[in-house]
Structure 1
Amino acid sequence: MVKRLWQLGAAQRWKMYLQFLGQWGGRLLVVTLVWAGAQWAVTGRIHGGLIVLIAIQLFITLSYLVVSPWLSRNGWAAAASQNLQKQFLAADLQSARSHDDVMQGLHQDLSTLRAVAIFFDTIIPTILELSLTGLVLLGVVLWAHAWTVLIPVGGILLLGASMGALQSLGNRENLAYIASFNHMGQRFLDDFLGMRMLIMYQRQHRYAQDFAADSENFRQKTMGVLRYQLQSLTIMDFCLYGAIGYFLLAQVTAVRTQSLSLSTALGIGMLTAVWLIDFRQFGYFIHVFIATLPKLRHLFQVIDAPVVPTVTTGQVTLSKLVNQLTVTGTVGYPNQKLFTFGEVTLTPGTLVGLTGPSGSGKSTLAATVMQRLALLNGKITVNRHIDLATISAQSWLQHANYLGPTTSLFAGTLAENLQLGRPQGDWAARLDRLGLCQFVRQLPDRYATQIGKNGVRLSPGQRQQVAVARAILADQDVYIFDEITSNIDPTNANHIMAALHRLARTKIVLLITHRLADLQDLSQLYVVADHRLVGGTFTSLQAQVPAFAQQVAEQQRLLAEVTRA
């Protein structure tokens, strides 16, 4: 992993060497000036070698101060970070993860990218600085007072052995912390998105208890990480400051016995203190870097994951309305077959439903119809004889529309959001006929109402109504609605379902849902079970598919409990 990081931004690495040389020259300049000052105070003169060394270090330091702003903006750290970010984003956006999974993980992964920058702009320069300062210190001490070199070296060896002993504990604590954080965050997100449903089923108290237990577990894991950090700092301080103290004591003894001059002792002591204090800072940076390693491993897993093959579309422009869509074959990914089915034909006139367990492939089928994925085998035919693969992506998007459970609205008015698809004619009257967005009658400014960023001034159900209405006003031929009623209140869900039934009279409409009220309202339904697609009615599928019958029975039981309560 370190080797991969080192290879990033290789063309700009030479700037890091310049940056290191300037910083190192500035730190050694302080040591040399103290040494020269002590020599002047004791003997009344400064050795010629020290004067030359001061001149060289002063030139390096001033030159670095001039170019440092440019190096900071355009250096190796910036180039390497940008390189890594591009690799990650390219891989993440082409991964097989769903849109929601991508968005949930993106913020955490981008924060990891920012944290990894410490490797390029701090850890590597510090390693070089410690190495060269250590060599200088070794040479000077061996020349002036040989045996005392064992003290700082012994302090470093003791520190390394102690930190190595703590390493396994640190890995366990960090992994446990990350796991508990992700678990609690996912529970919060799930409960927040499904809050209305939890209240409707009178389950909010049980979930509150579970969330409290997760919070306590996260607190304990956080305290474990803090204990590890405190132990690390205590060991670090003991080894390094202890080595500085013993080394200075040795220098004082040497001065008293006149085996070492005072100015040389001060110079060596200053150099040793700088070296060991740099080790302490390096230990802190290494600790921060190690804490990011589990997340960094995940980031490289995303980069190295097999890319889902992009769908190669044709160049055909579809000029006629789509009045039939026929799908047959196998849905899935190159390394995972989800389900296989015979010929399924969708036409205007009937609202068609699709249900099944989470992860069974429902949304994957939707992505396939929208040309984002390819069938593992089989074919999608448009209007009886046109292969979907021959139609250009731009042309198909003018005929097909997909809407999922995540609503994206824009800051502005209701009208501005509804008119994104450039509807023709009296679009407000059309919404009235569909029974959508009737809540605007209670708003003072009607469709001129400002809804805020992502519709923050609307309820979740109202936001979803606006999203559905916007899709319908685009007046396309094929509509796929994916769990659009899953996390909203029953009243808004029923308004949306009534509109979909009216829409399906003249358009091809596929509804992916698990909501019991939706399923009971559909005359044509498909269920994904045991890696196959089974079609029928709501009643017949309960007899044919045991898993579907169990899903229905569970929802009916919960509704009965709510009714009794």
Structure 2
Amino acid sequence: MSLERRLLRENRTARNFLLSAVFCAFLATGLWLAFLWLASAVIHRIFLGQQTLDQVTLLLTAMFGLLLLRAGLQWTSDVLAQHSANRVKQNLRARLSAKLFALGPLYTRGERTGELVHTTTTGVEALDEYMTQFEPARWLAALVPVLVFIAILVLDAWTLPILLFAGPVLLLLLALIGGRARALTEQRFVEMSWMSAFFLDMLQGIATLKLFGRSREQAATIETISRQYGNTTMDVLRTAFQTSLVLEWGATAATALVAIEVSVRLMSGLLPFDRALTVLLLTPEFFMPLRQLAMKYHAGSAGKTAAEHIYAILDTPVSAPLAFSTEPTRETNLASRDILFDDVFVAYDDGARPALNGFTLEIKHGQTVALVGATGAGKTTVANLLLRFVEPARGKICIGETALNEMAPSEWRTQIAWVPQHPHLFDGTALDNLRFAKPDATQAEIYRAARAAHAHEFIMQLPRGYDTPLGERGARLSGGQRQRLAIARAFLNPAPLLIFDEGTSHLDAESETHIRAALENLKQRRTVLVIAHRLALAHDADVIAVMQNGRVVESDTPEALEKRGALYAALRAAYQGGAT
């Protein structure tokens, strides 16, 4: 399906608005043609018919009325086109948001954030001019010449060969030059996306750049990128001007030929003056829609390019089920049962990078299980499976007797409290970030959760306590404080399953002590899966599962593994030697 049809199908109301806008613009053009016909009649009556202004007052009044009606229709057309654009943009933004949520963090981590932001913001906004300018111009370029052609056919058929020749030639020139404009617009969009991503990377890594003394090098790179983008922009504008110039020249030349042809026959007495004048006034209107289309071609190219990138996201297949579900949440406490991973296989990059290879593990209800293993063993993938961020290629995951893939993701996630290794804090206050877990939480509940997470003390030391803005990604807080705030969110979420991705490997001893104490509180009356990056935290678990090459190779209590676990003993020796 073409991009034009896909955009029109985004919203039924938007399509109706656009068609109504085109209809109003077409009527406005018809009124303008009627105005020109009346103008020709007035000129003929005054100059050749020797009539006075009083005698043509009725015609002048009709002309004035036509101008008013035309202005009203044109205004209505513009308003309707804008409504159409707004509906399409609103629909696409909603669909993009839902799609990105459905694709999940594994997709967004594989894409440059700046490019995604550019596509979902600037890209969607580029459709405004496409819908309000290019689409109406495209429709009018197909309809108006036919109307003018019929009018001239009635008045003077001898003029038609020039129009029949010039019209297709101008369309061919527009297509040839427009193809280059489209390629340049695509290049400009890609460069802008890349520049957005580069600027975002630079801002996020500005401390690292200053530390390594690379600020000047980055500034030079920015200058190079900006210059390249500026040159591409000028190429796009130059091509747009060339398109308009060629169409203007061609339309003017064709109009001049019509004027010569009409003048010769007028002087020869083969064509009445009133018809000759009307043909001369109508001929430019035959080419006007094509000239307008050439002027709007840049907006059309920009919109099509943006739409291609937008639909590239929307057409990305979802490996896991949609993030949202309209089904009501069942009363059954699904996570109160045992969890079984049975011979599970997972691979990334279309199977090129295996992550789990026959992973089998049982987590009993109320049990704390810690996954340990070297980097790349597949520990985080297990958490992603439970969070429904990824689906297994083979094998099954069961919650009691129910297969996990038979449950609505939104329903299942209400049963999970998740503390990631690097928790994301939004640009808001401490209170705002805590209430993400429970929007209707009372102050007493929030204080109780913060105290249990050993976070209340440092929050109260902030300038405005719980109402202190934390900055983007919690920039005001340390790594340990961010993790404790995430644990406090988990306390506010009474979900029976806790997934804790340990973040203590980069924390100081005091922060690690606070987090381990908070985790002990958090584990009460829950089934817990701990992704352990250091063995100290794993030793507090009921069961330790040692992973290697995407599967469990040893699984037992910490005490039993210390006695007989070969791989666990090697990991423990490496940890004690400072190698982990």
Which of residues 356, 367, 390 is equivalent to 1:339?
356
Is residue 318 from structure 1 mapped to residue 333 from structure 2 by the alignment? Answer: yes
Change (3 A) 1:17 1:88: same
Corresponding position of 1:178: 189
Would the aligned equivalents of 2:499 and 2:529 in 1 still touch at CA under 8 Å?
yes
Which amino acid in 1 is paired with 2:196?
Answer: G
Q: Could you tell me the TM-score, scaled by structure 1's length?
A: 0.70
Corresponding position of 2:200: 189
SS of 2:34 mapped into structure 1: helix
SS of 2:346 mapped into structure 1: strand
Which amino acid in 2 is paired with 1:401?
Answer: W
Deviation at 1:494, TM superposition (A): 7.2
Which amino acid in 2 is paired with 1:407?
Answer: H
Please show how residues 179-258 of structure 1 align to structure 2 within 5 Å.
179-199=190-210, 207-248=218-259, 250-252=261-263, 254-256=265-267, 258=269
Change (3 A) 1:242 1:498: farther
Corresponding position of 2:486: 468
Which of residues 403, 414, 417 is equivalent to 1:400?
417
Which amino acid in 1 is paired with 2:37?
Answer: T
SS of 2:201 mapped into structure 1: helix
Would the aligned equivalents of 2:145 and 2:287 in 1 still touch at CA under 8 Å?
no
C-alpha distance in structure 2 between counterparts of 1:467 and 1:318, whole Å:
26
Would the aligned equivalents of 1:451 and 1:457 in 2 still touch at CA under 8 Å?
no
SS of 2:103 mapped into structure 1: coil
Would the aligned equivalents of 2:370 and 2:529 in 1 still touch at CA under 8 Å?
yes
C-alpha distance in structure 2 between counterparts of 1:278 and 1:498, whole Å:
74
Which amino acid in 2 is paired with 1:317?
Answer: T
Q: Could you tell which deviates more after superposition, 533-542 or 104-113?
A: 533-542
Is residue 296 from structure 1 mapped to residue 311 from structure 2 by the alignment? Answer: no
Is residue 95 from structure 1 mapped to residue 112 from structure 2 by the alignment? Answer: no
Change (3 A) 1:170 1:124: closer
C-alpha distance in structure 2 between counterparts of 1:442 and 1:364, whole Å:
37
SS of 1:287 mapped into structure 2: helix
Change (3 A) 1:27 1:351: farther
Is residue 26 from structure 1 mapped to residue 31 from structure 2 by the alignment? Answer: yes
C-alpha distance in structure 1 between counterparts of 2:431 and 2:266, whole Å:
86
Would the aligned equivalents of 1:325 and 1:381 in 2 still touch at CA under 8 Å?
yes
Deviation at 1:129, TM superposition (A): 3.5
Deviation at 1:279, TM superposition (A): 1.6
* CA deviation vs aligned residue, 1:192-225 (integer Å, no higher than 9, x gap): 3344455556665655555454444433333332
C-alpha distance in structure 2 between counterparts of 1:540 and 1:99, whole Å:
32
Is residue 418 from structure 1 mapped to residue 434 from structure 2 by the alignment? Answer: yes
C-alpha distance in structure 1 between counterparts of 2:222 and 2:392, whole Å:
40
* CA deviation vs aligned residue, 1:450-504 (integer Å, no higher than 9, x gap): 3178688835859835742432432655444669799xxx77x877655443344
Question: How many residue pairs are counted as aligned between the two chains?
Answer: 530
Change (3 A) 1:334 1:434: closer
Which of residues 451, 455, 461 is equivalent to 2:469?
451
C-alpha distance in structure 1 between counterparts of 2:101 and 2:335, whole Å:
32
RMSD: 5.4
Deviation at 1:41, TM superposition (A): 1.8
Q: Could you tell which deviates more after superposition, 274-283 or 7-16?
A: 7-16
Corresponding position of 1:559: none
Corresponding position of 1:515: none
Would the aligned equivalents of 1:523 and 1:537 in 2 still touch at CA under 8 Å?
no
Please show how residues 363-512 of structure 1 align to structure 2 within 5 Å.
365-371=382-388, 373-380=390-397, 394=411, 397-403=414-420, 405=422, 407-409=424-426, 411-412=428-429, 414-415=430-431, 417-418=433-434, 421=438, 422=441, 436=455, 439-440=458-459, 442-447=461-466, 449-451=467-469, 458=476, 464-465=482-483, 467-474=485-492, 478-480=497-499, 497-505=512-520, 507=523, 508=528, 510-511=530-531
Q: Could you tell me the TM-score, scaled by structure 2's length?
A: 0.69
Please show how residues 259-270 of structure 1 align to structure 2 within 5 Å.
259-270=270-281
Corresponding position of 1:281: 292
Corresponding position of 1:548: none
Which amino acid in 1 is paired with 2:188?
Answer: Y
| Identical residues among aligned pairs (%) | 17
C-alpha distance in structure 1 between counterparts of 2:548 and 2:235, whole Å:
44
Deviation at 1:285, TM superposition (A): 2.4
Would the aligned equivalents of 2:434 and 2:488 in 1 still touch at CA under 8 Å?
yes
Change (3 A) 1:374 1:207: same
Would the aligned equivalents of 1:332 and 1:376 in 2 still touch at CA under 8 Å?
yes
C-alpha distance in structure 2 between counterparts of 1:395 and 1:145, whole Å:
74
Deviation at 1:369, TM superposition (A): 1.0
Gaps of 5+ in 2: 555-566
C-alpha distance in structure 2 between counterparts of 1:292 and 1:529, whole Å:
49
Corresponding position of 2:560: none
